[in-house]
Structure 1
């Protein structure tokens, strides 16, 4: 007995001490998020939230640089499931994170991204749009941003290039061990586009999560939705319900992509229905959500008529400019399940 007690004391001194409450390591956290992404039917009572441009706005105002490390950090702190990052190429072929084709709006530099070499872009600093605030963050490469997000949050990559560029994007993720931390996507609106996406994904391989983008100006058949999702074993389908005219009435049904048949296809195929509620500059409110977007929800105080409407029609992923407010609303509705408890 005298030998056992000292042994136990030494053993316990070598065991890491964790907080008494439910603890989740950074690595296991993204694993849990990915489980909820890839098993939609099991987690339809947990509506996932994606921070548009990594989370740059609050209450309709720009408060941090878009596509920035600061934005990722804030989204992580809120418990956001996924951040969206926009990808472009430099003159010398480097993959950088930038929404616009030009630099003026979001950096201290001017000109086209594709006309600058990476070394030159590194001298440009990200700005908080419309505020005059210059951050200390340079224009980031894709790998830098993926590393910053790694283990903490999933990354939804909005490829501003061609579908074939997804191959290089995935190679960048694989180099840093982020193959299971990204969701890639491309728009598919007909058989030709479907075959093009198939060819790209054949080069990439089945280990990468892929999501089709489907818009109802071209796709209205739920059978085609099911065919496309099934072709890639897609965990989600991003649905666009156009509302291009401010005078047009709000959608009353959700359109063909949120019809009962489309919802049934999502359940049979075990994939999430994804809606974008963020506004597009100088375009009608909720342009990609049938007029039911973030502005209507918060400026007009009609959250049920926006998020409730889309959830009632099957949406289980919402990409928004107001992630903190949306998460708070969802929690109040019992539509967020804690990652800490695993329930």
Structure 2
């Protein structure tokens, strides 16, 4: 579902002006966000917001290149706590920021990211999806993204590589003094996968935040959720509540991952519960949130049936394509606390 498209002039202003106009908060902001991330039980009165692909949309329309510096800057300026960035590797082994396996959709280039060196990727100019509007940004590395975000906002790493690449990401973050500036994650669905997550957890070390992704097509027992959160010393658990039934498009209760017992395990382990309300292309609205997605909230004017529904069930982190709208609603409901940036 797409909402009204803004005038081209406004769109171009948003695309070209966001990076240069966004205010730069004091450099202690990321440390304060990290503190709230790692102390869930002390901060359940504040709902954190994560900008999917760094925050590329407004009212359903693409207004910034995804995974761009402009998107990071805009997220910072609007109060977002974390930007999700997608990580791949160039032919010569450099970690770069790109969602797709290929360059076709989001840049002026064509072909697979993994088949081109960093030097070959550099000229690829970022564009707005669908509209092919050019920006003044080019493909950049994970290191450059970390340096751009450092001190201002946390980076939620969506790893498009092998799980072991998270160790490489950790080494890079630590070399830049950003061990507390990233959040890593891995999908966990059974005992074998949990053991892999534990091995990676040990390899990256306790100073870097690491969390499981739990989906309710495989994980349904609170005891497994409890064991996973405890074993990984996870500050959060990213929950996937699959949309299943066209006859009942909205989940009535949040599924097994948001049951009272599951929420109790989060409190026991000092862990945030995280839900994703962004859409997936060519899939039903709210595909990973039991049908309760961003554009149901906006199109119906009933945000309480989406963001409020999950907050009522213990969610304290929301990843969204509409961070401005989510933050505005949370603030109206008294579900945000300002960060003290004066010290």
Look up the match of 1:192.
Answer: 192
Would the aligned equivalents of 1:244 and 1:283 in 2 still touch at CA under 8 Å? no
Counterpart in the other structure of 1:238? 238
Work out whether residues 292 and 305 of structure 1, in 8 Å CA contact, stay in contact via their aligned partners in 2: yes
- Alpha-carbon distance in structure 1 between the residues aligned to 2:197 and 2:77: 35
Instruction: Name the residue aligned to 1:62.
Output: 62
1:285, 1:244 → 2: CA distance? 11
Q: TM-score, normalised by structure 2?
A: 0.91
Find the aligned partners of 2:194 and 2:243 in 1 and give their Cα distance: 25
Superposition pairs of residues 139-154 of structure 1, within 5 angstroms: 139-154=139-154
Structure 1 counterpart of 2:221: 221
1:27-66 to 2 correspondences below 5 Å: 27-66=27-66
Q: Displacement, 1:202?
A: 1.5
Kindly state the Cα deviation for residue 91 of structure 1 after the two structures are TM-superposed.
Answer: 1.1
| Shift, 1:175, TM fit | 1.7
User: Which TM-score applies when normalising by structure 1?
Assistant: 0.91
Cα shift at 1:247: 4.5
Question: What's the counterpart of residue 311 of structure 1?
Answer: 311
> 1:246–1:285: 8 Å Cα contact kept in structure 2?
no
Superposed CA offset, 1:192-246 (max 9, x none): 0011111112211111100100000000011111111111111000000001554
Question: Structure 1 residue runs of 4+, over 3 Å off?
Answer: 244-248
Aligned residue in 2 for 1:269:
269
Contact 1:185–1:210 under 8 Å retained in 2: yes
CA distance in 1, matches of 2:251, 2:112: 37
* Deviation per residue, 1:149-193 (Å, 9 max, x gap): 000001100101111110111111112111110000000000000
How does 1:1-343 map onto structure 2 within 5 Å? 26-244=26-244, 246-340=246-340
Alpha-carbon distance change, 246 to 61 in structure 1, aligned in 2, over 3 angstroms: farther
Deviations 1:95-116 (A, max 9, x none): 0011111111100001111111
* Structure 2 unaligned blocks of 5 or more: 1-23
Structure-1 residue corresponding to 2:13: none
Q: Mark the CA change 1:129 to 1:25 in structure 2 (over 3 Å): closer, same or farther.
A: closer
3-state DSSP of counterpart to 1:170: helix
User: How many angstroms apart in 2 are the aligned matches of 1:88 and 1:76?
Assistant: 24
* 8 Å CA contact 2:197, 2:232 repeated in 1: no
1:287 & 1:51 partners in 2: Cα distance? 17
String of CA shifts for 1:119-176, please: whole Å, max 9, x gaps. 1000101101122311121111000001000000011001011111101111111121
User: Is residue 186–residue 212 contact of structure 1 (8 Å, CA) maintained in 2?
Assistant: yes
CA RMSD of aligned residues (A): 1.3
Larger Rg: 1
Query: 2:132 and 2:110 mapped to 1: Cα distance?
Result: 15
- Quick check: 1:245–1:284 contact (8 Å CA) kept in 2? no
* Preserved contact between residue 244 and residue 284 of structure 1 (Cα < 8 Å): no
Stretches of structure 1 lacking an aligned partner (at least 5 in a row): 1-23
Cα displacement (A) at 1:248: 4.2
Structure 1 residue 25, shift from structure 2 partner: 6.4
Inter-partner Cα distance in structure 1 for 2:123 and 2:35: 39
